[in-house]
Chains A and B, each alone.
Chain A
């Protein structure tokens, strides 16, 4: 089911949590809502679910306007960060709940409900645990039950709010892979919220980066990572270094020195240069960014150094091969391989 969020605004006690947000979610895709805490991800997800009503704007499920529909009528599957499993019901009863509460006319017979629940239990790899209670499961297992429970009603859209947020790193990575597999197998349109960029990049078909109640950028992980359209996205996704520069004569200048980068179509004046620390070439040319190493530390297979760029003493981070001899006070010159220019400020 395709979902369209159209110019939605949401206020809590006059305080806007979302400003004029529009988003088209394609049928069958797995899209991540990514942003820092408080950026409005949960609010957007709950609006799609019908757990909140928009102050303004509409939400379409396919061609029907869902904005006026209740959460029950929308037929969504919602997975909560803290599982929200029914503690007095067994795992099997939890998974069957959505089918058991249906009105008699649409409720499958009990044997069929049981069969479907067992099938889902198998899908989430928890066969044999149907008689347990939620308190007898680990966090990762609970979240899998929560997913099975949401899938049982064959939802039009599957919505997950930081589903792995409460789990430790190891379990998180496993469940991530597993969620992707389940999605590929079942093909549900899925929206999941996360503040973990690694999770979003690895898991999603597309991601929607949010900040302060607005959508900053929507695109595939590659597009968003390689072509961020705003300083916020550049800074939020992946590692980044930034430096104020001056545009003059179609070139970029730092501290009165041309650094050997063309300005492209940027007009003359102040601007901000963004690049990735690992995306640089060390060079011995006059037209380069040059600085003195202030700190160096080992990060995985590379050595990350902080350079104090000559002039105003701005600090940028650059990655070197781990066997590079640079130490404190070493002078280095480099040029970003790929970079992006944004207006100053």
Chain B
């Protein structure tokens, strides 16, 4: 009997698993760490935001500059995210479905924004479009302002968030290969029909996943946008910039009210992201790696 029991236990325990107490200890450490690093700040944000009551909270959000910041953030995301979807689709299509010289270089290039500090990304645009550059004054002569205006903010945001869609789609498309597309073409579909009816449905969940991450970053980006925006109150301050400005003016309640919206966005993103991974894990390349 005893040997039987032991045999069963041996079969159940995989060679890489630790003993029970060690397991609990490790899980405990991880949970404690998460509580301190993630949950506590999150709680602090909402606590500070509501410290003067719900009325003050909504008053702070209804304030003119706060409204402008929210509108600007939504506008920037509404421009940057669709553009990055198009760029990301084009780049990953090219990389996954064609053979060409310089492919490895292109893949490295796509990763560049992840390895460069956002502040540097912003500075690049200052150099490109600033007063001392060639492009800036030339565009200005046509009445187009890039720096310290919407175009600059959008450009910096696009640069910083470019990799999200492409990096999600490249492995997914490479994994799926060109078989389905070839089948569609052999059945008489043209390139456009093949894309809409076969390629896009095959990657839709992966694409949505990429868009979600891209959007979260686009709305939350601080560094790159801070450099190019000029922080003109009510005009070129996005939500993260507005939060910082309010905080520096010792208006903590208003700062945290706005910050709580960003935190809410993060939470919604997290829930959707988890739901996607759980439901469509096999159709999302990143889920396998995360």
Let me know if B190 and A72 touch, CB within 8 A: yes
Do A84 and B187 have beta carbons less than 8 Å apart?
no
Question: Are the C-beta atoms of B182 and A88 separated by less than 8 Å?
Answer: no
Choose, from A59-67, A73-81, A269-277, the stretch at the interface.
Answer: A73-81
**Which size bracket describes the interface of B in this complex?**
10 to 19
- Cβ contact within 8 Å between B180 and A76: no
A102 sits at the interface (CB 8 A): yes
Q: Is A153 an interface residue (CB 8 A)?
A: yes
At the interface, yes or no: A82 with Cβ under 8 Å from chain B?
A: yes
Q: Is A86 a contact partner of B183 (Cβ separation < 8 A)? A: yes
Is A149 an interface residue, CB under 8 A from the partner?
yes
A88-B201, A88-B202 known; A101+B187 contact, CB < 8 A: yes
Q: Chain B's nearest CB lies how many Å from the CB of A43?
A: 14
Size of the A side of the interface (Cβ < 8 Å), in residues, is 23
Q: With the chains together, A145 CA to B156 CA distance in Å?
A: 49
C-alpha spacing A84/B202, complex, angstroms:
12
- B180:A86 contact, CB within 8 angstroms: yes
| A72 CA / B183 CA spacing, docked (Å) | 10
Among A72, A85, A102, which residue has its beta carbon within 8 angstroms of that of B185?
A72
Residues of chain A within 8 A of B266, CB atoms compared: none
**How many A-B contacts at CB < 8 Å in the complex?**
58
How far apart are A272's CB and chain B's nearest CB, in angstroms?
A: 42
Kindly state whether residue A310 has any CB partner on chain B within 8 Å.
no
On whether the beta carbons of A149 and B187 are closer than 8 Å, the reply is yes
* Interchain CA distance A149-B198 in the complex, whole Å: 15
Determine chain B's interface SS by DSSP, over half rule: helix
Are the CB atoms of B197 and A49 closer together than 8 Å? no
- Kindly list chain A residues whose C-beta atoms are within 8 Å of the C-beta of B187: 97-98, 101, 149-150, 152-153
- With both chains docked as a complex, state the minimum distance between the C-beta of B99 and any C-beta of chain A, in angstroms: 9
Q: Are A49 and B186 in contact (CB under 8 A)?
A: yes
- Picked from B180, B189, B197, B198, the residue with its CB within 8 Å of the CB of A72 is B189
CA distance A153 to B183 in the complex (A): 12
B180 touches A84 (CB 8 A): yes
- Is B184 an interface position by the 8 A CB rule? yes
Residues of the B chain whose Cβ atoms lie less than 8 Å from the Cβ of A150: 186-187
Q: Are A75 and B201 in contact (CB under 8 A)?
A: no
What chain A residues lie within 8 Å of B180 (beta carbons)? 84, 86
Q: Are B188 and A102 in contact (CB under 8 A)?
A: yes
In the complex, A71 has a CB within 8 A of chain B: yes
User: Would you give the shortest CB distance from A261 to chain B, in whole angstroms?
Assistant: 51
User: Which residues of A lie under 8 Å from residue B186 when comparing CB positions?
Assistant: 49, 51, 71-72, 76-78, 150
Chain B: minimal CB distance from A50 (Å): 8
**Interchain CB contact under 8 A, A80 and B197:** no
Question: Which residues of B have CB within 8 Å of A97?
Answer: 184, 187, 189, 197
Those 9 A-B pairs whose CB atoms lie nearest each other, nearest first: A98-B187, A84-B179, A84-B183, A78-B186, A101-B189, A88-B201, A101-B193, A72-B188, A71-B185
Can you pick out 30 interface pairs between chain A and chain B where the beta carbons lie within 8 Å of each other?
A49-B186, A51-B185, A71-B182, A71-B186, A72-B186, A72-B188, A72-B190, A76-B186, A78-B182, A78-B183, A78-B186, A80-B179, A80-B183, A84-B180, A84-B183, A85-B183, A86-B180, A86-B197, A86-B198, A87-B202, A97-B184, A98-B187, A101-B187, A101-B188, A101-B190, A101-B197, A149-B187, A152-B187, A153-B187, A153-B188
Q: Which residues of B contact A (CB under 8 A)?
A: 179-180, 182-190, 193, 197-198, 201-202
Beyond A78-B182, A80-B182, A97-B197, 9 extra complex contacts between A and B, CB < 8 Å: A72-B190, A76-B186, A80-B179, A84-B180, A85-B183, A97-B189, A98-B189, A101-B189, A153-B188
